[in-house]
A and B are shown apart, each in its own frame.
Chain A
């Protein structure tokens, strides 16, 4: 399926060369908007209603921020997406594809064809805060940072136990250190604003990292 790419710059999903960027044409049935201002660029798309799907790269915001919402009946050929990426780590091959209640199946199928055609894996989810992965893992990361404060085990033993016990490729403490605790603060703050439960409130160590980053310390 042919697709057009509009790049507004500073894409978190595609910071480097990728088959999805290489495969774009000057015009197409699908439009892929990437970059930090992808949502604003939605207004620049011509013949919107005739497109099979229009994909908007999302940050921590809901798709509804860009499309508007209507009493739970919203949904069109406009879908949200983000390639999952932890902080400064490399983007994964997983794309969370965001639909609304009335999004037609044909738009989801078109979006999936473009993304999978570029070698990406697709998980479809509703327009919920944190989508799938952040919504699920951030409380677990917060809990591990809190338990480290409470000295349940050393950071190394905590990481080792979770790696060996559950087969995780990396323990939570080393993963957050490697990809940036300040990013964890940013994501959990956004989730906490919407969800409001203490599990999403940034853990103390993330608050410290964010404040130090703000002062220019590492």
Chain B
């Protein structure tokens, strides 16, 4: 049984908002923290839309959603994280920025609070090194879209205490998720495979092998994948793909992990994907995936 009652999520972007849904839906009191009110407002609007669809599809009752939404609080005040038993960080993939956040949280949160990082490419041991409590930091990598995907890749760093890892594992199960243990290796399992795979798809567009829609159609109809690589990249965001490439290529030197030039051109044109309304495709709405 998990002893965790209150969950903090730091960062209200696509991943953070999805993780907050997972925690709140499982009955945890959930505090979503972001420095920007407009980001919190968007997360709230998307979350309400997501749960409305859950009700429509008969997955949740309107009463259950009311309770969940009552347990889900947004805040721009980091002091509100003082009541959290665990804080899951889902902010920018930058070691210094994550160190800064965890240092601030370390000053606010009680000593028992576990710090989890949703990093997809950075080393848990390196993140733990700048957290002020290296033995209480654990990797919890959720999958996109977090509100629908069950898997969490869980990695202990070199300094993580086995008790903390065990408590975080039980917490993941209590959220109804399926944890898988991985080593603190670059990209863990998923991104080690996915980032170069997506780069290969981008290089196929660059080389003129086929149009994005033809590539996506081939992969979905030929292999039964739920999404094509280019629509998935639009969901991930091209700016995030650049960071993933830089993090993974910086450590592995794998040529397939190197960022294709087209990504930088698309970022320069603000074609970041769904969030800017245009990536490999154009979009009219920013509604959340699924329900």
Contacts and interface: CB of A to CB of B under 8 A. Distances in A.
Interface of A: 84, 92-94, 96, 121-126, 128, 131-133, 135-137, 139-140, 143-144, 147, 152-153, 157-158, 160-162, 164-170, 197, 199
A136 B200 contact: yes
B219 A133 contact: yes
A166 B255 CA distance: 23
A214 B183 CA distance: 37
Interface string B250-278: 00000110000000000000000000000
Given A128-B207, A167-B227, A136 B143 contact: no
B176 to A, nearest CB: 13
Contact of B209 (A135, A168, A197): A135
B210 A124 contact: yes
B154 to A, nearest CB: 11
A143 to B, nearest CB: 6
Contacts of B215: 123, 132, 136
Contact of B153 (A96, A123, A165, A199): A165
Contact of B222 (A94, A124, A143, A161): A94
B212 to A, nearest CB: 11
B217 A94 contact: yes
A162 B151 CA distance: 9
**By CB atoms of chain A within 10 A, which of B153, B182, B223, B226 has the most?**
B223
A92 B218 CA distance: 10
B209 A166 contact: no
Given A126-B208, A152-B185, A167-B227, A162 B221 contact: no
Contacts of B197: 136-137, 139-140
A199 B200 CA distance: 11
Contacts of B194: 166
7 contacts: A84-B218, A94-B217, A133-B219, A133-B222, A136-B201, A136-B229, A169-B225
Interface in B197-243: 197, 200-201, 204, 207-211, 214-215, 217-219, 221-227, 229
A197 B189 CA distance: 23
Contact of A158 (B189, B208, B223): B189
Contact of A121 (B150, B183, B221): B221
B218 A133 contact: yes
A165 B196 contact: no
Interface string B135-159: 0000000010000011101000000
Contacts of A92: 221-223
A161 B226 CA distance: 15
Contacts of A96: 218, 222
Interface string B150-175: 11010000000000000000000000
B143 A199 contact: no
A132 B209 contact: yes
Which 4 pairs of residues, A with B, have the shortest CB-CB distance? A164-B151, A123-B218, A94-B221, A94-B222
A144 B185 CA distance: 15
A166 B197 CA distance: 12
